[in-house]
Amino acid sequence: MTTALRLPLARPSLGRREEELVVEVLRSGILSLGPMTARFERAFAECVGRRFAVACSSGTGGLHAALHTVGLQPEDEVITASFSFISSANVILYEHATPVFVDIDDESLTIDPRAVEDAVTDRTRAIIPVHIFGHPCEMPAIMRTAHAHSLAVVEDGCEALLATLDGRVVGADGNPTVYAFYANKQMTTGEGGMITTDDAALEETLRSLVNQGRAAGGAMAFDRLGFNYRMSDITAAIGVGQLERIDELLAAREHVAERYLGALAGVDGVRPPAAPTRLRRSWFVFPIRFERGISRDRVAAHLAASGIQTRPYMPAIHLQPEYARRFGYRRGMLPVTERASDSSLVLPFYPGMNDDDIGYAVQQLRVAIDRAS
């Protein structure tokens, strides 16, 4: 007998305003390459404090387009983290380059700047730092390495909208930075992404790339090989509505995270997210890690039987079959990443969760840990 789902992993927060804007687009008859997408781009650029924003069909598409501008060659290497969603590595393969995975910091779970520096070779051309789970990477150290070796940097901010480190918002270092709006993100458009930059020439190139390589001002003129990574105006309409209440959305997620942290304080065997000191985390998911001796999979099975949806975020990319086969990665090469990957679980997390929801999740988590120890 299947247990009824009581707490889904994620749930978008959508309201009347998003409906109004979608209807506005439908009634306009302009469903793509129209004024709503341009409106969304302007609003998003202002939100994150960048000069330009280029809408695209997904965070993956945005990362690919941004990395494509680097001009990678088949023998080139790109340094990134294995503790990430697979798209941040896949885009390197799309460009026929080699991903070089380095380990992460055990507290923040973001890429270790010292490991980045140690991994640079004469074939390294770029770095993709991943601001995982809304926790900013140590960008000052990463940028020092990039400048010292003349490396391009493309920031994966897909999970880190408006996260800050030392008061500087993700993307403030001037690198092309990519955001994603899948249904579980801080704000959503269902599918969709955005690339930000302060460089006018790069903005023009990116705008061409996401639209089949179309030349500026040319209806059917194409001056480069591009991709079909356009965002529709229907998608953009949802984004405009979400941006209008982004502060509310982020505050609601922060409130739920604080309630979880309080409820987990007395739960043995669970390692909650790192406490922020120099940063403001943008809460994407609520990840926990289990101490050795606790079976993550048995805990997850009990929670599923109790109607609580979870997910083992993030599986290590370097151990995924395609990457292990192509590049010879094997277990033991990135010990911190592998420990985090093996022990991490994300709990239900979304605006609108109340104390009863959180209390039930944590109560069942306690029971699961007792049975899985």
pLDDT interval class at 266 (50, 70, 90):
confident
Give the end of a domain, one of 227, 243, 259. 243
Percent of the chain with pLDDT over 70: 99
pLDDT at 42 over 70: yes
Of 125, 131, 185, 289, which one is the catalytic site residue? 185
What is the pLDDT averaged over residues 130-155?
A: 98
Can you spell out the DSSP letters for 273-324? PPPPSSEE---S-EEEEEPTTS-HHHHHHHHHHTTB--B-----GGGSHHHH
pLDDT at 216 over 90: no
Of 126, 178, 120, the C-alpha closest to 152 is: 126
User: What interhelical angle do 35-48 and 233-243 show, nearest 10?
Assistant: 40
* Residues 254 and 365 both lie in one domain: yes
Q: b vs e for 44-62, b when ≥16 Cβ sit within 10 Å of the residue's Cβ?
A: bbebbebebbbbbbbbbbb
- In tens, the pLDDT along 54-102 reads 999 999 999 999 999 999 999 999 999 999 999 999 999 999 999 999 9
pLDDT at 218 over 80: no
What is the pLDDT averaged over residues 169-178?
A: 97
* Residues 23 and 161 both lie in one domain: yes
- Is residue 8 in a domain? no
CA 269 to the chain's CA centroid: 27
* Residues 196 and 65 both lie in one domain: yes
Helix, strand or coil, per DSSP, at residue 194: strand
pLDDT at 3 over 90: no
* Residues 258 and 230 both lie in one domain: no
Can you spell out the DSSP letters for 159-180? T-TT-EETTEETTTTSS-EEEE
- In tens, the pLDDT along 190-206 reads 999 999 999 999 999 99
Q: Are 206 and 66 in contact (CB under 8 A)?
A: yes
* Residues 69 and 36 both lie in one domain: yes
What is the length of the chain?
373
* Residues 230 and 93 both lie in one domain: yes
The DSSP bridge pattern shows strands 270-271 and 286-290 to be: antiparallel
Looking at residue 75, what is its pLDDT?
93
Helix, strand or coil, per DSSP, at residue 113: helix
Residue found under tokens 């982020």: 250
- CATH number, domain at 272? 3.90.1150.10
Looking at residue 156, what is its pLDDT?
98
- CATH number, domain at 135? 3.40.640.10
Q: Taking all residues of the chain, what is their mean pLDDT, rounded to a whole number?
A: 96
* Residues 68 and 116 both lie in one domain: yes
pLDDT at 253 over 70: yes
* Residues 22 and 39 both lie in one domain: yes
pLDDT at 1 over 50: no
Is 373 a residue of the active site?
no
pLDDT at 341 over 50: yes
What range defines the domain where residue 54 resides? 16-243
Q: What SS3 string covers 226-285?
A: CCECCCEHHHHHHHHHHHCCHHHHHHHHHHHHHHHHHHHCCCCCEECCCCCCCEECCCCC
pLDDT at 2 over 80: no
Q: How many domains does the chain have?
A: 2
* Residues 56 and 87 both lie in one domain: yes
pLDDT at 173 over 70: yes
Both tokens of 177, joined, read 């930075």
- In tens, the pLDDT along 268-321 reads 999 999 877 899 999 999 999 999 999 999 999 999 999 999 999 999 999 999
- Is residue 300 in a domain? yes
* Residues 65 and 148 both lie in one domain: yes
- Is residue 189 in a domain? yes
Burial class (CB in 10 A: 0-12, 13-18, 19+), 360: middle
Looking at residue 149, what is its pLDDT?
98
* Residues 212 and 353 both lie in one domain: no
Q: How far apart are CA 199 and CA 155, in angstroms?
A: 15
